């Protein structure tokens, strides 16, 4: 049973003063957001996700790539933060010196109440000019059909095509965001890693940095990962169940920061 491990993890959380919550695709998958490699359905199955998510693909066929990202944004917009996202926001509310670092490009943490999470791989909702890098306003478009090309908008400054604000294959992570994430991991006393495979570098180094510098590490994941080796407590199961249970065990069963979020329910 996981309950003794939840109690052990709750003891660490209740006494933590600086917490980093590091999340990956698993937490959003529980809200119905497909993982990157599962994101091609319908007519998009004809395409290779790794081939679409490159600067070269956007240069060669910007309407195809923009259309795919518009379709992905529309799917994310219909998703609802789950109880795991709400529990992460509750941890932030309880531990003021805390930070969310996510590999996800959706906005479910923000909609759940997290304040300024660090998006290591960018955001679907922060497009920018592909030429001058100026941020572009995001406009909710009608959902494009499967496989539909949609011409990207033009930059108001230089008229260059606006690109999705995500990190593509072959691109480096945003230096300032990565530096802030590593700095937070270096200074925390507890890191909670949720729903990440621990295989994508350099992001996967963040929990290991925390562990090497003396922080305790809690892992929440249904599966074994390479981070098992650095975790003090491994909680096996869905984050939408385990994270609310962890918050309740640390601070009581009637935490007001978890409105309507039962152990397996969705909220937000």
Model confidence pLDDT, tens digit, residues 1-33: 347 899 999 999 999 999 999 999 999 999 999
Mean pLDDT of the chain: 88
The yes-or-no verdict on residue 200 having pLDDT over 90 is no
pLDDT the model gives residue 212 = 97
pLDDT the model gives residue 4 = 80
- The rounded distance, in Å, linking the Cα atoms of 267 and 107 is 14
The yes-or-no verdict on residue 86 having pLDDT over 80 is yes
Residue 261: pLDDT band (50, 70, 90) is very low
The yes-or-no verdict on residue 264 having pLDDT over 50 is no
Region 85-95 average pLDDT: 97
Strands 162-166 and 122-129: antiparallel
Q: Where are the alpha helices (DSSP H) in the chain?
A: 3-14, 25-29, 49-52, 55-60, 62-78, 83-94, 108-112, 175-187, 205-212, 239-251
The yes-or-no verdict on residue 246 having pLDDT over 90 is yes
Provide long-range contacts, Cβ within 8 A and 24+ apart, for 147-154: 147/42, 147/43, 147/44, 147/46, 147/67, 148/67, 148/71, 149/61, 149/63, 149/64, 149/66, 149/67, 150/63, 150/66, 150/67, 150/70, 151/62, 151/63, 151/66, 152/62, 152/63, 152/66, 153/127
pLDDT the model gives residue 118 = 98
The residue with greater pLDDT, 262 or 184, is: 184
Contact 21, 91 (CB under 8 A): yes
Q: 155: number of CA atoms within 13 Å, CB side?
A: 17
Strands 98-102 and 216-220: unpaired
Stretch among 49-58, 91-100, 114-123, 254-263 having the lowest mean pLDDT: 254-263
SS3 12: helix
Q: Is 5 a catalytic residue?
A: no
**Which domains occur in the chain, in start order?**
1-32+80-121+173-268 (3.40.50.1220), 34-78+124-166 (3.30.1600.10)
pLDDT the model gives residue 35 = 75
pLDDT the model gives residue 259 = 44
Contact 163, 58 (CB under 8 A): yes
Give, in degrees to the nearest 5, the angle at Cα 189 between 188 and 190.
Answer: 95
pLDDT the model gives residue 140 = 61
Distances (CA, A) of 28 to 102, 106, 221, 231, 256: 11, 8, 12, 22, 23
85, 109, 119, 121: the active-site residue:
121
Q: How many residues belong to the chain? A: 268
Q: Please count the other Cβ atoms lying within 10 Å of the Cβ belonging to residue 252.
A: 9
The residue with greater pLDDT, 106 or 260, is: 106
pLDDT the model gives residue 3 = 78
Residue 135: beta bridge partners?
Answer: 128
Q: Terminus-to-terminus CA distance in the chain, angstroms?
A: 29
Residue 266: pLDDT band (50, 70, 90) is very low
Q: Please count the other Cβ atoms lying within 10 Å of the Cβ belonging to residue 128.
A: 17
How far out from the chain centre does Cα 253 lie?
A: 26
């Amino acid at each position: 049973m996981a309950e003794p491990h939840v109690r052990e993890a709750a003891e660490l959380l209740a006494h933590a003063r600086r917490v980093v919550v590091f999340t990956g695709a698993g937490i959003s998958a529980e809200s119905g957001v497909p993982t990157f490699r599962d994101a091609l359905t319908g007519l998009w199955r004809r395409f290779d996700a790794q081939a679409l998510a490159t600067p070269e693909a956007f240069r060669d066929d910007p309407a195809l790539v923009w259309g795919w990202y518009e379709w992905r944004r529309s799917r994310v917009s219909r998703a609802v933060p789950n109880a795991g996202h709400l529990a992460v926001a509750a941890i932030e509310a309880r531990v003021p010196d805390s930070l969310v670092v996510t590999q996800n490009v959706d906005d479910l943490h923000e909609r759940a109440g997290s304040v300024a999470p660090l998006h290591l791989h960018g955001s679907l909702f922060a497009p920018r000019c592909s030429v001058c890098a100026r941020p572009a306003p995001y406009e909710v478009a009608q959902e494009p059909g499967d496989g539909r090309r949609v011409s990207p908008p033009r930059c108001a400054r230089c008229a260059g095509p606006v690109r999705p604000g995500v990190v593509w294959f072959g691109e480096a992570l945003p230096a300032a965001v990565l530096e802030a994430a590593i700095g937070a991991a270096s200074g925390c006393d507890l890191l909670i890693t949720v729903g990440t495979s621990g295989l994508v570098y350099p992001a996967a180094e963040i929990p290991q940095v925390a562990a090497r510098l003396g922080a305790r590490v809690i892992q929440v994941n249904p599966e074994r990962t390479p981070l098992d080796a650095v975790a003090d407590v491994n909680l096996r199961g869905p984050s939408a169940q385990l994270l609310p249970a962890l918050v309740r065990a640390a601070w009581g069963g009637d935490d007001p920061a978890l409105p309507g979020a039962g152990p397996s329910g969705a909220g937000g």
